Structure 1
């Protein structure tokens, strides 16, 4: 009963909070509701982790044993949801949304309601939680609430800039919390049909959040997100029908482990798995479906952080990783690895040409999601381990970075990277946290680099995938390094501006930067406690294995000889020493020892960027200093069409190899 209560709280509490935030219009009451909800969700995640570990790595809850039958309620909500999405298609005059909703309704009604393919046997356990589910629950119940806390401080400033007469925050927090409830339910359920419902709820919520500001651009981008994800929903419902006909079960646990039982990979089953992977590609914005996630950048920053870190896009990679054991070692797996590897390469390349900070983060998100899917496709012990670890490291780092860029945008009124010169003098607190967040995506000892190393090691037998990962990793160095260099560019002026942030914004940034550091410092207990137990349930044989030992994660062969590894804590000791000593010596620098640059005239005294001077005509001039973006080669206009064509061809090949 304790477990069932925790599951109910994880799903129903965000729903209750959503309703209360919508009903209670006073800011103080809403702040209280959000803060209390965040604390409770933190506690639920920690308690579920304790119960799962104590219970041997599996929690199963049967509603039948409690004499609760929700199947018809789920089907009814599903049908209402499809009808509402169809209504949105009519209202927005987007016929593709209407058509896709109707196409989803047909197999749904035939299979779930009229039982044309025979009676449907529902899984005995409505909810099954294992270590992979727990990883997602921790991300949703920790990062998600932190983003809602940040939104309290951010949305007030955001609406001030929009000059709104009536606040839309009640609606905003309503959808935000429904999103969290749907995500928790989606990763907990063992019923593939139920998962489809929660999958579609996140699709609708993403539309409502992206279109929140109500301007034409926001509505158009939200509509694109809706129809692309509805395309994935159509693939999902078709996959349910095919997989049930092939396996006679809707249990996600049984489906994912069917290959471990020695069953052949023939018939409709591989087609169904291919459709599930396709649905995962759309949700996680893999090429050629990346445009919806890029368009989501028009939404308020908390929406971007939520979609890109712990929820929407993670649902897609979660599905692909969850089903990885079912297609491991097949031709389908090889093509899935190619889709992910190519997306990682293409998104990293295009990110080099971007000046808009949010678009850089968006392309980086797409790239890292591609790497997770690539690892799932490779399917080895080390690759799956890298996929799950990257889900964690990417969620905390990217969630932090989106909140940082939103804070910077509110502070300087721009997302342009070039406008961030001298940011260290204007917003020193935010700048330091932003730089650490970027470094966590780029350099040791942070976990993202470790996962890239594991991905490269796992792909040595797949030359094309290996080349994509190596080139993509090199491109990430370019765009992160350029951005870090701009942010840390400071004038010779000793003056700093006191940065004023609300408690909600400052507290959220502190929590997430602490999570970024903790995830990498504690990588050994995290790996041994969360990831290794999951890997042991997959019965993966062959290839190098991973082990958290001593001060880091090491890779060893079957004879226990060490192949490689990272001693994270030692790296952190070096980084910590540098972080302490460098500012100390900088503060010791005397003002008279710093010589200002000559800018063809007298330097301006009040210029904190050090880029302004007085020309001979007594006119204030500004020195133009900027990065190279190589748009002529890496620009979106040059690469998007061709990368989309190649990605589409790979996906067509994927279905070609599974349809026999």
Structure 2
């Protein structure tokens, strides 16, 4: 059963990809995506059952020596094919930097993997190891990923209609989506750092192919940017592999994580850890590598939701969290925390100046990934618990919000926040889900706020990091609050329009909003079952502990006294009562009791979007309600250059420190 699940998690998406590409029939493709979605759900559930029953708290998959050698050479061959295709892309689009970065990876890779110039390659016996952190990532990839792919069935049909394509490109699109899902599952399950690098590069290539899917000049340009920036991380990754192999005598990721526990933070290992952190920074779009994620917003909405909020960018933070015990309590850990905290604060600030809904979500994603990396750098059990919980809550809520923005864009023809005034009257179903999704990112009792509180508590011994987290958290409330306010601003007319969505889109939105609610309501069993076992397995210095019991999450000192917490279930009961009560009483309110404002003329009877009135000249006039975006303070042109310089300096300091060690 163990091996069947492993093969299904990796090879089923590959099979689905091939079928989607070969079979052009729309109805058959719908069937393939639907069946694959259900099977991947079952795979995730199967891993949950197996891991919870595993006596050692992990599932280990070993190959015999001959099989391991065969599989390793197959992956080496596929690596070479991958390098060749990336170089071809660079040559085709006359992008020299892509070719140069590809060569910088191929040469050390070939010298190490093929010719053995740097000594023997120590392949770990455990080919795949699934612990609770891996399981959480499998759940994000194999549950949220297929939901987004299912949503794309309805979305891409309408998307191609707007593009006026004569020949559908959906077969290629769904093929790449499924290849990506299979690569992500393999990436988080393997214990071989060299194999992880191969799957890491597959996600890089998939990102380019999906961002440039529409084939427009701007799409190709941004796809190439994603390719070369992530290739920078690939260069750091391959050199880290060589250094890890020579330092530890193994490529086992578990061994890297445990190396700090054994006092092995010496020699070349600090440099390898620093390079792996930089690779994680590029994949998770941390400053100064954030531009590829911002450019990726030109891609179809399912791409934004899948690659750039719920799964691909999580590969970067997954790597940093995975190896965080190795540099816990070191200068490297402090610098990683500062880098993540800086990204959290500056990305939240720039988000305030954005009126493009997708860009707000992009900067919010960058910010939250920064907070995850910040928690990993702080390096306590509580901060790691906060990082893992935030990975879960952010993936669910942000995946939902990207789909909501895509749905809104198709409904009103714009993704500009200012054009969403009165949206509740036009798209009530989508609006309610969108608002709940936004609230889940900033207010109690939802899990994202709880993780921010945990991060603040664990950063009290690092004043600069503490200041950055507090600043970023405050700025977050501003841009979410503005967006919610404009969406809920509407006319006084009782008329509503009932929107019509395809089944796949409506089902995906409904399922994800249920997950958003369930994850926060069930934060105690979620923590105790999936997060706590992983955190406990890390040996770190802690001044307190995180306990999930009763009706919430509590922080305890070493003497067991409670000094903070959230009674999440009590909060949720109150919130749910308000969510039911407000619409109930609003519905019972008679139109005659609504007193429209005096607007210097008769109110327009067909007003749906905002406030419209008939002026003395018998003209329809609009009452314009706008947000403040403070471009002169928080604008991209005001902050990006300086932020990139500071963040780049932090990266250079990280390299300087680890080389000095």
Once the two structures are TM-superposed, the CA of residue 381 in structure 1 deviates from its matched residue by 1.1
Aligned residue number for residue 85 of structure 2: 84
> Any conservation in 1 of the 2:40–2:146 contact (CA below 8 Å)?
yes
Aligned residue number for residue 572 of structure 1: 572
Q: Which secondary structure state, in structure 1, belongs to the residue aligned with residue 371 of structure 2?
A: helix
Once the two structures are TM-superposed, the CA of residue 262 in structure 1 deviates from its matched residue by 2.9
Aligned residue number for residue 621 of structure 2: 621
TM-score, normalised to structure 1, is 0.99
Alignment of 1:51-450 (within 5 A): 51-56=50-55, 57-64=57-64, 67=67, 69-263=70-264, 265-450=265-450
> Any conservation in 2 of the 1:437–1:513 contact (CA below 8 Å)?
yes
Distance 2:46 2:318 in 1: 22
Deviations 1:435-475 (Å, cap 9, x if unpaired)?
00000001001000000000000100111100000010000
Once the two structures are TM-superposed, the CA of residue 120 in structure 1 deviates from its matched residue by 1.1
Per mean C-alpha deviation after superposition, the further-off stretch among 9-18 and 621-630 is: 621-630
Aligned residue number for residue 531 of structure 1: 531
Q: Which secondary structure state, in structure 1, belongs to the residue aligned with residue 261 of structure 2?
A: helix
Distance 1:439 1:64 in 2: 51
Distance 1:444 1:496 in 2: 30
Per mean C-alpha deviation after superposition, the further-off stretch among 85-94 and 536-545 is: 536-545
Q: Which secondary structure state, in structure 2, belongs to the residue aligned with residue 553 of structure 1?
A: strand
Once the two structures are TM-superposed, the CA of residue 394 in structure 1 deviates from its matched residue by 0.3
Q: Cα–Cα, structure 1 residues 604 and 233, in superposed 2: closer, same or farther, change >3 Å? A: same
Q: Which ranges in structure 1 are unaligned for 5 or more consecutive residues? A: none
Distance 2:246 2:351 in 1: 43
Distance 1:262 1:605 in 2: 74
Distance 1:413 1:610 in 2: 17
Distance 1:564 1:331 in 2: 28
Once the two structures are TM-superposed, the CA of residue 625 in structure 1 deviates from its matched residue by 1.3
Distance 1:449 1:566 in 2: 10
Q: Cα–Cα, structure 1 residues 496 and 657, in superposed 2: closer, same or farther, change >3 Å? A: same
> Any conservation in 1 of the 2:108–2:238 contact (CA below 8 Å)?
yes
Deviations 1:65-102 (Å, cap 9, x if unpaired)?
79453010101111111111011111111100000000
Q: Which secondary structure state, in structure 2, belongs to the residue aligned with residue 257 of structure 1?
A: helix
Deviations 1:466-494 (Å, cap 9, x if unpaired)?
00000100000000000001111121100
**Length, aligned pairs only:** 658
Distance 2:4 2:366 in 1: 36
Q: Which secondary structure state, in structure 1, belongs to the residue aligned with residue 126 of structure 2?
A: coil
Once the two structures are TM-superposed, the CA of residue 191 in structure 1 deviates from its matched residue by 0.4
> Any conservation in 2 of the 1:381–1:543 contact (CA below 8 Å)?
no
Alignment of 1:446-457 (within 5 A): 446-457=446-457
Distance 1:508 1:137 in 2: 19
Q: Which ranges in structure 2 are unaligned for 5 or more consecutive residues? A: none
Alignment of 1:490-509 (within 5 A): 490-509=490-509
> Any conservation in 2 of the 1:308–1:398 contact (CA below 8 Å)?
no
> Any conservation in 1 of the 2:343–2:366 contact (CA below 8 Å)?
yes
> Any conservation in 1 of the 2:332–2:657 contact (CA below 8 Å)?
yes
Distance 1:353 1:396 in 2: 25
Is 2:499 the counterpart of 1:480? no
Deviations 1:323-352 (Å, cap 9, x if unpaired)?
001111110000000110000000000000
Aligned residue number for residue 543 of structure 2: 543
Q: Which secondary structure state, in structure 1, belongs to the residue aligned with residue 555 of structure 2?
A: strand
Once the two structures are TM-superposed, the CA of residue 540 in structure 1 deviates from its matched residue by 2.0
Once the two structures are TM-superposed, the CA of residue 261 in structure 1 deviates from its matched residue by 2.1
> Any conservation in 2 of the 1:394–1:448 contact (CA below 8 Å)?
yes
TM-score, normalised to structure 2, is 0.99
Deviations 1:581-603 (Å, cap 9, x if unpaired)?
11111112111111112222221
Once the two structures are TM-superposed, the CA of residue 610 in structure 1 deviates from its matched residue by 3.7
> Any conservation in 1 of the 2:350–2:636 contact (CA below 8 Å)?
yes
> Any conservation in 1 of the 2:328–2:540 contact (CA below 8 Å)?
no
Once the two structures are TM-superposed, the CA of residue 609 in structure 1 deviates from its matched residue by 2.5
Once the two structures are TM-superposed, the CA of residue 267 in structure 1 deviates from its matched residue by 1.4
Once the two structures are TM-superposed, the CA of residue 243 in structure 1 deviates from its matched residue by 1.1
Once the two structures are TM-superposed, the CA of residue 631 in structure 1 deviates from its matched residue by 0.7
> Any conservation in 2 of the 1:493–1:610 contact (CA below 8 Å)?
no
Q: Which secondary structure state, in structure 2, belongs to the residue aligned with residue 306 of structure 1?
A: helix
> Any conservation in 1 of the 2:426–2:609 contact (CA below 8 Å)?
no
> Any conservation in 2 of the 1:232–1:279 contact (CA below 8 Å)?
yes
Aligned residue number for residue 634 of structure 1: 634
Distance 1:583 1:311 in 2: 34
Aligned residue number for residue 48 of structure 2: 49
Q: Which secondary structure state, in structure 1, belongs to the residue aligned with residue 538 of structure 2?
A: coil
Distance 2:170 2:91 in 1: 26
Deviations 1:240-297 (Å, cap 9, x if unpaired)?
001111111001111111111232x121100010000000000000000100000000
> Any conservation in 1 of the 2:173–2:213 contact (CA below 8 Å)?
yes
Deviations 1:603-626 (Å, cap 9, x if unpaired)?
111011342222222222222210
Once the two structures are TM-superposed, the CA of residue 542 in structure 1 deviates from its matched residue by 2.3
> Any conservation in 2 of the 1:328–1:379 contact (CA below 8 Å)?
yes
> Any conservation in 1 of the 2:552–2:568 contact (CA below 8 Å)?
yes
Q: Please tell me the root mean square deviation across aligned C-alpha atoms, in Å.
A: 0.9
Deviations 1:200-222 (Å, cap 9, x if unpaired)?
00000000000000000000000
Q: Cα–Cα, structure 1 residues 65 and 526, in superposed 2: closer, same or farther, change >3 Å? A: farther
Aligned residue number for residue 11 of structure 1: 10
Distance 1:634 1:67 in 2: 56
Distance 1:588 1:83 in 2: 66
